[in-house]
Chain A
Amino acid sequence: MYHLERPTVDRNALEETTQLPVILFTHGEPQPVPRTPGGPDYGRIQHSPEFVSLRRRLRRFVFPLSLLFFAWYMTYVLLAAYAHDFMSIKVAGEINVAIVLGLLQFVTTIVITAVYVRFANRTLDPRVARIRRLAEVADR
């Protein structure tokens, strides 16, 4: 059976504000909502070279990839809507181009998911960890 109870250590740091390092706050007081003055210097982090590079890498990866899968999906949809003759060509037995292209959408979804996860684990996560270290935030 599953463990239905979990230790409180795993909890979201938001809830247990005492878990946040006191060094974060210049006033030294644990604050329930971290979006008040005295929290981390977001402006400084935002303009740090590490953060700028993280943002650029993320956007350069996810935007083109999003466009790519959307274009590929819409190609399939438009073919299914307007190119009935092409989609009805039989490839093997009763299996036609429409079914093959439909299944290919399944394959590309899995491939894109795998590619992104690999990119995020190798490229994004270490950069995020470094920025968090520089900002003196404990890694979760």
Chain B
Amino acid sequence: MTPETLAAGLEGSDPVVNTAVFALFVAATLVVVYRASSRASSTSDYYAAGGAFTGRQNGIALSGDFLSAASFLGIAGSIAIHGYDGFLYSIGFLVAWLVDLLLIAELLRNTGRFTMGDVLSFRMKQRPVRAAAATSTLVVSFFYMLAQMAGAGGLVALLLDIHGGVGQSLIIGGVGLVMVLYVLVGGMKGTTWVQIIKAAMLLVCAVLMTVFLLGKFGFSLSNLLSSAADRSPMGGRLLEPGGQYGASGTSKLDFVSLAVALVLGAAALPHVLMRFYTVPNSREARRSVVWATSCMFVFYLCTLVIGFGAAALVGPEEIKGAPGGENSAAPLLALHIGGSLLLGIVAAVAFATILAVVAGLTLTASASFAHDVYANIFKRGKAEPKDEVLVARLTAVVVGVLAIIGGILANGQNIAFLVALAFAVAASANLSTLLFSLFWKRFNTAGTLCGIYGGLLACLVLVLFSPVVSGEPDSIIKNVDFHWFPLRNPGLVSIPFSFLCGFFGTLFGKSKADPALHAEMEVRSLTGIGS
């Protein structure tokens, strides 16, 4: 990257405006979080906001949790540079909600209280299954968080004109601090309100940019597409599938693998699952999914226009040359169409997105550790609620520090791609066991443990020995090559593998399923009796 292109990426960006808009958001949300916090130390308040949100509120918050920096920055960049293949992310992320709606959301809401471990361990041996559930929750949340924080560094460079490593690290540290504050002060209630505010800002922003872009091209999608194709070095191939993944048989398979991970991952993300506990009953959980799907329908339609719009108006060279690379497509587009004020707003929204999503992840990780590990494994379910919340808050601080360190270390990769990896881990470790546990009578403790650990290990090992980590020019570890697994996304192999592990673990495990507990779980999940 030459200094000239760097400067070109920043021309017209006004750090004062950017900082002011972002500071306004942080101030407003902190006030809301402070007012929303009841300062009660009950576990239900901290983890599930007392189950007192409506379906609509929770649905909008769900879309806030789900529309991460990957959706906004990553997809737009991916479409602008690689063309149509980037659109797969939008489609996969949206269709994935049908798994939640049809198979998971309502049953999960009725069965559990605070964490994914509540459901998985319901009719199994408590301690080993909770330990497994907490492990997978922490791993998935960490992957997801890494992806979010990876976007923060480039964004800081683009927005505040800070290029030194120390300066950027300080800003990431500051962002992390605000995020931990949300979680500590607000718990689930405060975090939910942050998500609602952020989701509304993000949606309005995306819709306005889309309408403006379409207007610029005479409200003709076809005109916009042809301008994008003219500007791109790929020409007409920008609009066709295969631009990124069409080169060889392996890359085509990689595309399929990514698609499978995207559609099966959403229903297995612990921070999404945990949101269903913030509503009073399963009907509101259903409404939550409907509202979330509606918000995302609009948003992901916009990503198509924003992505190709960035290709048409900004051009791929400028996007690649800007600090933050692919991830800077949407902010640069804002700069081109609305000047430094719109850049400030879009950048602040992007920052707010990272902040809010990381806060949600922190809350989930801390809840899982405090509820599953501390209260149920260490204290065997006899922990004082006050102590449990204290442990959760302490964990939140630790997770926050880890997120800050991760954000400083991770940089450069497309964040949509990193998030897809987190989806693959989630789908491999959690989806098979959740579905078996809800729908298969014979499923037992051995099956649960095999499914979680088998899927998790398979996924991590395949990523470790994939081109993501070594062997390619853009790998994380350069100049060494120890990869033997050809695909960048392991989902196609690791997800079916976890289903097989769960199945055979159940058949060969010594522990038998408990019919009484199965009766309770089935009745409870379908009717809500006892929940």
> Are A76 and B91 in touch, CB under 8 angstroms?
yes
Complex Cα spacing A127 to B259, Å? 37
A81 touching B239, Cβ below 8 Å: no
- In angstroms, Cα B246 to Cα A37, docked, is 59
Q: Does B44 contact A (CB under 8 A)?
A: yes
Tell me which residues across on chain A come within 8 A of B229, comparing CB atoms.
94
Q: How many whole Å from B454's CB to the nearest CB in chain A? A: 22
Asked if A34 contacts B530 (CB within 8 A), the reply is yes
* Contact among B106, B253, B528 for A132, CB-based, below 8 A: B528
Complex CA–CA separation, A73 to B526 (angstroms) = 28
Are B193 and A4 closer than 8 Å at their CB atoms? yes
CA distance A54 to B282 in the complex (A): 15
Residue A23 at the B interface, CB < 8 A? no
Q: Which residues of A contact B98 (CB under 8 A)?
A: 66, 69, 109, 112-113
Question: Within 8 Å of chain A (Cβ to Cβ): is B170?
Answer: no
In the bound complex, do residue A58 and residue B526 qualify as a contact, i.e. CB atoms below 8 Å apart?
yes
Q: Does B523 contact A (CB under 8 A)?
A: yes
Task: Determine the distance from Cα of A13 to Cα of B48 in the docked complex, in whole angstroms.
Answer: 13
**Could you say which of B286, B294, B529 contacts A45, with CB atoms under 8 Å apart?**
B529
Q: How far is the CB of A36 from chain B (nearest CB, A)?
A: 10
What 1/0 flags go to B267-303 for Cβ under 8 Å of A? Answer: 0000000000000110100100110011001001100
The CA of A34 and the CA of B301, in the complex, are separated in Å by 45
- Does B142 interact with chain A (Cβ within 8 Å)? no
Q: Report yes or no: B242 in contact with A84, Cβ–Cβ below 8 A.
A: yes
B410 contacts chain A at the CB level, 8 A cutoff:
no
A73-B88 Cα distance, complex, nearest whole Å = 11
Let me know if A26 is at the binding interface, CB within 8 A: no
Of chain A, the residue at the smallest CB distance from B190 is A4
Contact A106 B84 (CB under 8 A): no
Instruction: Choose among A45, A96, A105 the residue that contacts B239 (Cβ–Cβ < 8 A).
Output: A96
CB-based nearest B residue for A72: B95
B523 pairs with A51, CB closer than 8 A: yes
Distance A6 CA – B255 CA, assembled complex (angstroms): 46
Which residues of B (215-253) have their CB < 8 Å from a CB of A?
A: 220-223, 225-226, 229, 239-242, 245-246, 252-253
Could you say which residues of chain B place their CB within 8 Å of the CB of A13?
Answer: 531
A95 in complex: contacting residue of B32, B106, B221, B242, CB < 8 Å: B221
Known: A14-B113, A96-B240. A54 touches B293 (CB 8 A): no
Asked if A51 meets B286 with Cβ closer than 8 Å, knowing A42-B520, A80-B88, A105-B95, the reply is no
Chain B window 109-122, contacts with chain A (Cβ cutoff 8 Å), 1 for yes, 0 for no: 00001000000000
Name the distance in Å between A21's Cβ and chain B's nearest Cβ: 11
Q: Identify which of residues 45-71 in chain B touch chain A, using a CB-to-CB cut-off of 8 Å.
A: 48, 50-52
What sequence of 0s and 1s flags, for each residue 14-56 of chain A, a beta carbon within 8 Å of any chain B beta carbon?
1100000000000000000011000110110110000100110
Known contacts A42-B520, A102-B91, A113-B101; is-contact A81 B222 (Cβ 8 Å) = no
Contact B103 A66 (CB under 8 A): yes
Nearest CB of chain A from residue B48's CB, rounded to whole Å: 7
Assembled-state Cα–Cα distance A57/B38 (Å):
42
Q: Are A54 and B222 in contact (CB under 8 A)?
A: no
Tell me if B241 and A109 are in contact (CB < 8 A). no
Chain A min CB distance to B448 (Å) = 18
Q: Contact: B239 with A77, CB < 8 Å?
A: no
Partner of B91, one of A84, A106, A137: A106
Residue B511 CB within 8 A of the other chain: no
As a 0/1 sequence over residues 176 to 198 of chain B, the CB contacts with chain A under 8 angstroms (1 = contact) are 00000000000000000100000
Determine if A45 and B42 form an interchain contact, defined as CB atoms under 8 angstroms apart: no
Q: Does B464 contact A (CB under 8 A)?
A: no
User: Which residues of B lie under 8 Å from residue A8 when comparing CB positions?
Assistant: 50
Given contacts A73-B95, A95-B221, contact A128 B297 (CB under 8 A): no
Binary flags per residue of B22-37, CB closer than 8 Å to A gives 1, else 0: 0000000000100110
A88 on the interface (CB 8 Å rule)?
yes
Docked-complex contact A40 and B529, CB < 8 angstroms: yes
Q: Is the CB of A15 within 8 A of B51?
A: yes
Residues of B within 8 A of A6 (CB): 50, 52
A4 to B88, CA, bound (A): 38
**In the assembled complex, which residues on chain B have CB atoms less than 8 Å from the CB atom of A34?**
530
Contact, CB under 8 Å: B263 / A70: yes
Which of chain A's residues 109-135 have a Cβ closer than 8 Å to chain B? 109-110, 112-113, 116-117, 120, 125, 128, 131-132, 135
- Judge whether B87 is part of the interface by a CB distance below 8 angstroms: yes
Q: Tell me the complex Cα distance, A110–B289, Å.
A: 11
* A35 to B530 CA separation, bound complex (whole angstroms): 8
Are A88 and B50 neighbours in the complex by a CB distance under 8 Å? no
Residues of B within 8 A of A77 (CB): 88, 255-256, 259-260
CA of A102 to CA of B222 in the docked complex: distance in angstroms? 15
B475 interfacial contact with A, CB 8 Å: no
* A93, chain B: closest CB distance, angstroms: 3
- Closest chain-B Cβ to A123's Cβ sits at a distance in Å of 13
Within 293-325 of B, Cβ neighbours of A (below 8 Å) are at 293-294, 297, 300-301, 304
- In the bound complex, do residue A84 and residue B519 qualify as a contact, i.e. CB atoms below 8 Å apart? no
Contact of B529 among A11, A15, A65, A131 (CB under 8 A): A131
**A110 CA to B175 CA, complexed, in Å:** 36
* B409, CB-defined interface residue at 8 Å: no
Chain A residues whose CB sits within 8 angstroms of the CB of B527 once the complex forms: 45, 51, 54, 128, 131-132, 135
Q: How far apart sit A66 and B104, CA to CA, in the bound complex (Å)?
A: 12
Name which residue of chain B comes closest to A113, CB basis. Answer: B293
Contact (Cβ within 8 A) B519 A42: yes
Q: Is the CB of A109 within 8 A of B97?
A: yes
Set of chain A residues within 8 Å of B239, measured between Cβ atoms: 88, 94, 96, 98-99
Q: State A94–B222 Cα separation when bound (angstroms).
A: 5
A-B contact pairs, 15 of them (CB 8 A): A12-B51, A14-B531, A39-B530, A42-B516, A73-B95, A74-B260, A80-B84, A84-B242, A102-B91, A109-B94, A109-B97, A110-B297, A112-B102, A113-B98, A132-B527
Since A6-B52, A40-B530, A99-B304 are in contact, a sample of 6 more A-B pairs with Cβ atoms closer than 8 Å, ordered by chain A residue number, is: A46-B522, A59-B439, A77-B260, A81-B259, A113-B289, A137-B529
